């Protein structure tokens, strides 16, 4: 898979992201303009998949974005720690959807998951899914904090059962983020879930993937475990 065509496809899978405390309307507008200009600068390449910002910047991106087939993704629901009231998470997700987000990324309540409150984590995600109002829900497992592959699989299945459209490895805000091992376990869980339910869930590796070589390795896992249908 280490070839030019795969690398072009991988570029088209990127969520181009700015999640800084210094983000402003002006900086996000300039950030979005880079995506608008991409087609003129690189006519032989497909643009990025999405622009990912904080919820309060979704409307700015929506007003500025002119490029075709680029989604607006937002982190929400108490990102990145998920340590707030469920009412606040649901309200923020609903507001994020109303602001124009096509995709909403939330983190599972890792502390509750570790405490064994899996039903509560599931119920939270169901409420959040309902608040998305049609936007795709990407559920972040924060796999680098999970203790073993059993927990990664449990969290994957729990998120998918709760309605996740994608399961995602990490926020990129922890010391240990995406790993190839976690990606393999998550893709296996997606495959098993699909075989039992017929529901096709996407996979998103994120956090610490900073070279083309690493991106190709993650691509290879998805292609090997899940096959062409997921490409």
Catalytic residue among 89, 129, 138, 168: 168
Phi, psi dihedrals of residue 48, rounded to the nearest 5°: -65, 165
Q: How far apart are CA 97 and CA 93, in angstroms?
A: 6
Active site includes 204? Answer: yes
Instruction: Give CA torsion, residues 39, 43, 49, 55, to 10 deg.
Output: -10
Q: Which residue in the list 15, 105, 129, 165 is annotated as catalytic? A: 105
Active-site hit among 89, 129, 138, 204: 204
Q: Identify whether 20 is a catalytic site residue.
A: no
**What is the DSSP track for 7-64?**
HHHHHTT-EEE---TT--HHHHHHHHHHHHHHHHH-TTS---SEEEE-GGGHHHHHHH
Does residue 8 have an active-site annotation?
no
Residues annotated as catalytic (active site), given as ranges: 105, 168, 204
């Amino acid at each position: 898979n280490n070839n030019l065509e795969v690398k072009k496809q991988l570029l088209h899978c990127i969520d181009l992201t700015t999640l800084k405390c210094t983000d402003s309307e002006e900086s996000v507008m300039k950030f979005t303009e880079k995506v608008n200009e991409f087609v003129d600068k690189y006519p032989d390449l497909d643009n990025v998949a999405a622009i990912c910002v904080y919820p309060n910047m979704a409307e700015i991106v929506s007003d500025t974005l002119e490029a075709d087939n680029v989604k607006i993704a937002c982190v929400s629901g108490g990102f990145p720690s998920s340590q707030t009231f469920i009412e606040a998470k649901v309200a923020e997700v609903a507001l994020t959807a109303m602001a124009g987000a096509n995709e909403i990324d939330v983190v599972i309540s890792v502390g509750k998951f570790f405490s064994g409150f899996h039903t509560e984590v599931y119920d939270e995600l169901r409420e959040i899914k309902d608040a998305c109002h049609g936007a795709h829900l990407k559920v972040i497992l924060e796999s680098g904090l999970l203790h073993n592959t059993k927990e990664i699989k449990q969290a994957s299945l729990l998120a998918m059962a709760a309605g996740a459209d994608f399961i995602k490895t990490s926020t990129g805000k922890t010391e240990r983020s995406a790993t190839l091992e976690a990606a393999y376990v998550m893709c296996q869980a997606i495959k098993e879930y699909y075989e039992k339910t017929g529901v096709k869930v996407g996979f998103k590796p994120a956090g610490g993937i900073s070279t083309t070589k690493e991106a190709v390795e993650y691509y290879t896992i998805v292609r090997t475990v899940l096959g062409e249908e997921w490409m």
